[in-house]
Amino acid sequence: MPLPFGNGTIDGVVLDLDDTAVPFLTPAAWQWAWRPQGPVLGERRVRSAVRRSIRAWDRRRWRGLTSREPPADLAALDAHLRATLTAVAGHALPRPEEDAVVRRLLRPAGELETFPDVLPALRRLEGAGVRIGIATELPTESASWLLRRAGIDPVLLRIAGEGPQPLPDRAAFRAAAAALELPPDRVAFVGDLFWSDVRAAGRAGLPAVLLDRHDAWPKVQSGRIVALDGLEAALAAGGHRAEGPEEPDDAAA
């Protein structure tokens, strides 16, 4: 049965893959990718670097979406990860070491960290008869591999993302809704980036909820949760309602 959403209902939920359904830029991920044998990285320093980094990546994706820069493709993601590594380390690393760290981050071979709220949320949605999808810029094969590593059966989900217009393009959000065989206004998008996930989904006609695991947008007033335990309540309240400035460089959030 559909989920309450403001004065209406939602029949489908699409989750962003990285840092929403599967950990990606967490302190544990950076520890494994850069210093798997130690020493232990300072968690406070890493979290601070990651918060600054994801806000910068959000602005970069938004500028690509609004034609201020070329779309943020996989090459842009690679540059973003290298810049984040420099911030985490506190200094630039030799290029061969940098290459190895980014490679391990993108395709972890060790024990993969998981978010404890994801599987219970998926079970709740499935039990309510809600269609569930995953959206990502990564190829479907890579996304399926990451989901399996996190203990999530990709067969239960519908993965959308590959194509000539990847997220956060409007067509990609609508393709994610189409993968659930639902109109955009009946599908809620849950992502961890404020502008290029939540605001971009809204521009494409999808209701949206911000999952702010990194506490990067504490001033966002509506539709913000810090764990998926609060998803249904955020949807019932109407999700995120566009407010404040229209460009991230001017945002107080």
Cα separation of 57 and 35, whole Å? 24
139 plus 231 within the same structural domain: yes
Among 106, 139, 154, which residue terminates a domain? Answer: 106
What CATH number is given to the structural domain containing 129?
3.40.50.1000
Does residue 249 fall inside a structural domain? no
118 plus 199 within the same structural domain: yes
Does residue 142 fall inside a structural domain? yes
Residue 113: band (very low, low, confident or very high) from pLDDT cuts 50, 70, 90: confident
Does residue 162 fall inside a structural domain? yes
Query: For 197, which DSSP code?
Result: I
Cα separation of 83 and 60, whole Å? 13
39 plus 119 within the same structural domain: no
Cα separation of 73 and 167, whole Å? 9
38 plus 17 within the same structural domain: no
76 plus 139 within the same structural domain: no
Does residue 253 fall inside a structural domain? no
Query: pLDDT digit string (tens) for 178-210?
Result: 989 999 999 999 999 999 999 999 999 999 999
pLDDT of 18 over the 60 cut: yes
17 plus 120 within the same structural domain: yes
213 plus 166 within the same structural domain: yes
42 plus 147 within the same structural domain: no
96 plus 61 within the same structural domain: yes
Query: pLDDT digit string (tens) for 141-190?
Result: 777 778 888 888 765 556 655 566 788 999 989 988 998 999 999 999 99
DSSP reduced 3-state for 246: coil
pLDDT of 221 over the 70 cut: yes
Among 84, 106, 128, which residue terminates a domain? Answer: 106
* Cβ-proximal residues to 66 (8 Å cutoff; 6+ apart), any chain: none
Domain count, the chain: 2
- In terms of residues, how long is the chain? 253
126 plus 11 within the same structural domain: yes
175 plus 89 within the same structural domain: no
Return contacts of 88-97, CB within 8 angstroms, 24+ apart: 88/30, 88/34, 88/41, 88/45, 88/46, 88/49, 88/50, 89/34, 90/45
So what's the pLDDT on residue 24? Answer: 85
| Type of residue at 55 | R
Q: Which domain holds residue 14?
A: 3-23+114-243
Averaged pLDDT score across all residues of the chain: 88
Among 63, 87, 106, which residue terminates a domain? Answer: 106
Residue 128: band (very low, low, confident or very high) from pLDDT cuts 50, 70, 90: very high
Cα separation of 19 and 249, whole Å? 23
